[in-house]
Structure 1
């Protein structure tokens, strides 16, 4: 009875001691998110006439079901997204492991042993035990470890969202390129028809002695050059199909059928309402948010390393029972153990210094991400402004060349100009159309770049959906 009372008092004292120690503050820096030093306003000209106030509504305003289907296919079967999701699962498991450090560890064991000696009866010994231990989080090592793991999980989630934004933009860019490529092939084919007619007319003039033979050589050279350009353009279309097949995971036959079912023109990019200042854009970018969470994790890791500089206390206890030959023996033990780091040759301090170095590196990476985000937006706005102005002039030029070609057709029917003059006018009009198609593509691609630079439709509170294609 006396022993039981003493054991109870010891247990109570250790429990009170544990509660007292658990109230200790965690060592290491208390993290505060740094403030991004960015301009108050954009320097580049801002687009006007935007209709999409939210980035999440932007893709729908293209009203292109083929592009939407390609984006959905890419998201459901992307190795890049699958890898990003795997990193989320790794971070989630790491967080669960870190949280387990705050709980006691309990193990049980049992054994049955049959033994004997010569001329002696054999004996069966049965034993069982339950052991428990709990390391007190005196200086916040476990708490800082959980803090670091949780920040890493948030960072990996942001990486996944950033990969989604990049993938959607890449699919759209390749799709727009394919649509423009088809238009360019059609235009080059028309140009080649015109050049061949010019070549035939030139040869007739040369045979009649009305033109020098050098005119025929020039005509054939022009035909060969345009044929080469057409072949190159067709190859570019094939390469874009291969890229889309790689991005979406669709079989090429299915992909070609899907592309053939859609429009042949370049979809107009809906404008975006550009009302965000640089500081808002920086907060919207998933890559910047990911680097900031990495920085928070690095800060907490300093606390984990510093906690190892201080003593640690562990509470341990066990209950055991053993029975042999009709006799039984019960045993128990309980008590704290203290570990003091007296000398390790500077190893623990080196770990702290390393953790602080990692923090400095991560902080520099965060600053670099902020600068790159602002620069990327500024550059995309400059490119968009340039493409818009050039497209306006190209549209005007194409309209004027169409009028010029219409006049040339009337003159040819009236007999005031010959075939050669008419074909020259037609090729000039076709060249203007080629320039217009190229600039229309450039403008829509620049809009996609602006969408991506603004952070896309990323939302830090949005839920994550695992990819359909997972490892077996």
Structure 2
């Protein structure tokens, strides 16, 4: 009786051993990858910065270790950057792309695991043929079971390669988010410097306009009294119109700077964070034009930054997020080759279930004679025989994609090397240029003073004074632009060396995501 019961329920040990053995064998053989071993390509740049970069002192420190909160010393600029990191829409999209890639990685990772489901059914019918043979008028049938469906056993690493590719893409989006923040910090700092320079140039234009207005009034008075010619009056009027046009242009440029800064910050900027336009002092009643230029024309109130350690070219490979992003994309392309190779081999899937059937509902959960245990085990194998060259073409596509990724990675390194070399070469050159222009501006200011004095005393003609006035204005404008370029070059060097993302930003990103987002923490998810 017990033997008949065991046969009916299908619980014979000799039937279970092959099932268990096959499952254990499948688990032991999974995970063999056909992807080529990844090796980082050699950096296609020199090991030292070029001689044209000027005197560079190798340092163990790196710009990437200098947080932007320490690099930026201006409190207004620091506050603007902090607001932008919370409100900038481009940065939000980069963060959302990380979440998208993370979810896609979890989907790909889940494909390696069996999908276990619970199923239950119940039927009630009147089988006419059974009733005619003396069976029951109404037959009930209930079943309850748990099982897996079409679980692909990853013998040749196809799913593992796809998971590795998805993980690399996820890490690439993390690096893209860091690169987006670095670019945002640099853009805000550069726009802020431009705004402050345009504000200074606006003040310079207004001061020059007032000076030329007084000069025009004086010349017109002399013309009305027959002392000056109409040519002198028209030249003075032309210079006054030039100054008025310069003031209008600087007013427009300053408004555009504020609009761009508002876009980068992502919200309206409070007036307390916008550089105010200083009030231009009225000209002295004595009519001495040179007294209007006695004070420094361009006050040195631009944001200053801490000195930047240059480091070595090899630091770029591990510190610049855009280079690390290109490398992760290369790793993903390399893993996809493994998935394309695995398509040439058999694909094995497994469907299995374990449950209980009964003619009454209570029998599904009790130990009565009406309940029977049931199980099924169904492996499936498919082997490509003819596909018209599809698998071969997919492999060639993945290999070509990997080659493209290698070139993209090498180009990212070369671009980064050039950006740093350009910034280093510009650093000393712009400093020398600014010093020379400062000396020229001092000389032009003194020249204007002497020309005005000689003209008032009748020693020189009016053209000499007008030429000195024109030259001084042009030199001061050029000096302001070079000073701006010098400050922006420091920002570009900081960005080119990978600065703008520090431990504080890493901690903030983890807290915002509610999970570890660092490379090491994500790698542990494998």
Instruction: Answer yes or no: same fold by TM over 0.5.
Output: yes
Indicate how the Cα distance of structure 1 residues 127 and 155 shifts in structure 2: closer, same or farther if over 3 A, else same: same
Match of 2:390 in 1: 347
**Aligned counterparts of 1:278 and 1:370: Cα–Cα separation in 2:** 9
Identify the range of structure 1 (339-348 vs 352-361) with the bigger mean alpha-carbon deviation.
339-348
TM alignment of 1:208-287, pairs within 5 A: 208-252=225-269, 254=270, 256-260=271-275, 265-274=301-310, 276-287=311-322
**Aligned counterparts of 1:355 and 1:176: Cα–Cα separation in 2:** 46
The alignment partner of 1:321 has SS state of strand
Match of 2:17 in 1: 9
Match of 2:162 in 1: 145
Match of 1:31 in 2: 38
Q: CA deviation at 1:408?
A: 6.7
**Aligned counterparts of 2:54 and 2:508: Cα–Cα separation in 1:** 32
Does the 8 Å contact 1:76/1:468 carry over to 2? no
Q: In the alignment, does 2:325 pair up with 1:310?
A: no
Match of 2:482 in 1: 439
The alignment partner of 1:298 has SS state of helix
**Aligned counterparts of 1:282 and 1:107: Cα–Cα separation in 2:** 47
User: Which segments of 5 or more consecutive residues in structure 2 lack a partner in the other structure?
Assistant: 1-5, 279-298, 362-369, 514-526
Aligned residue among 294, 297, 300 for 2:335 = 300
Q: CA deviation at 1:57?
A: 4.2
Match of 1:173 in 2: 190
Indicate how the Cα distance of structure 1 residues 76 and 46 shifts in structure 2: closer, same or farther if over 3 A, else same: farther
**Aligned counterparts of 1:205 and 1:463: Cα–Cα separation in 2:** 71
Match of 1:465 in 2: 509
Q: In the alignment, does 2:476 pair up with 1:449?
A: no
**Aligned counterparts of 1:266 and 1:422: Cα–Cα separation in 2:** 31
Aligned residue among 136, 142, 146 for 1:126 = 142
Match of 1:385 in 2: 428
**Aligned counterparts of 1:104 and 1:262: Cα–Cα separation in 2:** 68
Aligned residue among 46, 63, 70 for 2:80 = 70
The alignment partner of 2:160 has SS state of helix
**Aligned counterparts of 1:417 and 1:85: Cα–Cα separation in 2:** 67
**Aligned counterparts of 1:176 and 1:50: Cα–Cα separation in 2:** 29
Q: CA deviation at 1:139?
A: 0.9
Does the 8 Å contact 1:50/1:270 carry over to 2? no
Structure number with greater Rg is: 2
Match of 2:442 in 1: 399
Indicate how the Cα distance of structure 1 residues 107 and 305 shifts in structure 2: closer, same or farther if over 3 A, else same: same
Q: CA deviation at 1:17?
A: 2.5
Match of 2:47 in 1: 40
**Aligned counterparts of 2:182 and 2:93: Cα–Cα separation in 1:** 15
**Aligned counterparts of 1:435 and 1:149: Cα–Cα separation in 2:** 52
The alignment partner of 1:315 has SS state of strand
Q: CA deviation at 1:219?
A: 1.9
Identify the range of structure 1 (451-460 vs 169-178) with the bigger mean alpha-carbon deviation.
451-460
**Aligned counterparts of 1:370 and 1:351: Cα–Cα separation in 2:** 29
CA deviation string 1:63-104 (max 9, x = no partner): 211000110111111111111111111221122122212222
**Aligned counterparts of 2:250 and 2:57: Cα–Cα separation in 1:** 34
Q: CA deviation at 1:61?
A: 4.4
The alignment partner of 1:465 has SS state of helix
The Cα RMSD (Å) is: 3.3
User: Which segments of 5 or more consecutive residues in structure 1 lack a partner in the other structure?
Assistant: none
Q: CA deviation at 1:386?
A: 2.7
